[in-house]
Structure 1
């Protein structure tokens, strides 16, 4: 008798999600709005690549280091599956990643909100472990839309603690 081993689902990489998402979004708009969407995409990709030390686990950092040996550009987005994306999106609403221009900022907030909602609806993330970042991000986006800082609350040490869990 043969037994069938369960197949573990392989989640798409961050680059697969971002490429598909932003290509679809850019096709729907033209002119200056399209430029702004493309700018958000480029900034988010830079954020993923430069902020991985803050977001990636020790095991993920090993994968990233190996990927960088083959091709440094875009290594983080290729090495990590999309379950890490909600944590990167939380970093992406920090002041350092928000554009100064009001219209550019509005587009970034709008795109992040739509992407966050897509991630929450899909099977891309573990609902139990990722629901906190998804909810936290939406709260930050609401504050930003209202002209408030994304991270109004800080730890007594002065650090922003918007990540969930230990």
Structure 2
């Protein structure tokens, strides 16, 4: 297996950091008040990656398309491409590992397609 070039590793690291920040800052406001209270309490013990620790894969999958909103996209085309690859790859991993239902994954793909304004891929998929 070939290792990623340094530039690609840097882009992946940048996308990872931005995605984690997005999850921690944007997702709590979309959750119920009890969930928000749980997040506040959990942050007292460990302030890092609270949303990822507390909530199931379905919450992550539903939140991922928002990370591709135009105002969140990287300015550089290679970084934008990496951002899309990471989001789609995470979605595929969640469905392949059976952490989310196929129906939820199809809704995720439809949401991504709306973001990029093209129809969802209808070809053969490996799940």
TM-score by shorter chain over 0.5: yes
TM-score (norm 1): 0.60
Equivalents in 1 of 2:29, 2:3: separation in Å? 33
Q: Which residue of 2 aligns with 1:101?
A: 76
Give the alignment of 1:21-60 within 5 angstroms. 28-60=3-35
Equivalents in 2 of 1:57, 1:122: separation in Å? 27
1:10-57: CA deviations, max 9, x gaps?
xxxxxxxxxxxxxxxxx9412101100111111100000010234333
Q: Which residue of 2 aligns with 1:135?
A: 109
Does the residue aligned with 1:91 lie in a helix, a strand or coil? Answer: helix
Moved over 4 A (4+): none
Cα pair 1:120 1:134 within 8 Å, conserved: no
Q: Does 1:74 align with 2:49?
A: yes
Structure 2 unmatched ranges of 5 or more: 119-127
Structure 1 unmatched ranges of 5 or more: 1-26, 147-166
Equivalents in 1 of 2:3, 2:37: separation in Å? 38
How far has the Cα of 1:108 moved from its partner? 0.9
Does the residue aligned with 1:120 lie in a helix, a strand or coil? Answer: helix
Judging changes above 3 Å, is the alpha-carbon distance between structure 1 residues 59 and 132 closer, same or farther for their aligned structure 2 residues? farther
TM-score (norm 2): 0.76
1:45-71: CA deviations, max 9, x gaps?
000001023433344223212211212
Cα pair 1:37 1:107 within 8 Å, conserved: yes
Cα pair 1:90 1:133 within 8 Å, conserved: no
Q: How many residues align?
A: 117
Q: CA RMSD for the aligned pairs?
A: 2.4
